[in-house]
Amino acid sequence: MYEVRVRGGTRSVLETEKVYKGQYSDSKKILMQPNCEKVRIITLPHSATEFTPTMIIVSIAVSIALVVLLLVYIVWRYVPQPVLLT
């Protein structure tokens, strides 16, 4: 039987050696199985609800490109073109 408490921390952006530590979580008691260190843990990649900064930047760039293409099409379609005299 083990008693586990978790404490999070974050490193300062300005003072990289300084770590701000949070409060400890409530204690949880867990029972470990024999040879549990040999069990392979499979972690899943980021879930679909997590947005990385790259995904956000690409989404904004694609949105701007689509709006520009739509405006170019509207201008090309509805603005009268000059007639070339030969």
> What is the model's pLDDT at position 43?
73
Beta bridge partners, 11, equal: 19
Question: What is d(CA 40, CA 30) in angstroms, rounded to the nearest whole number?
Answer: 18
pTM for the model stands at: 0.39
> What is the model's pLDDT at position 78?
83
Q: 2-6, 10-14, 68-72: which has the highest mean pLDDT?
A: 68-72
CA angle 23, 48, 66 (to 5 degrees): 125
Question: What is d(CA 6, CA 55) in angstroms, rounded to the nearest whole number?
Answer: 31
CA angle 56, 19, 54 (to 5 degrees): 10
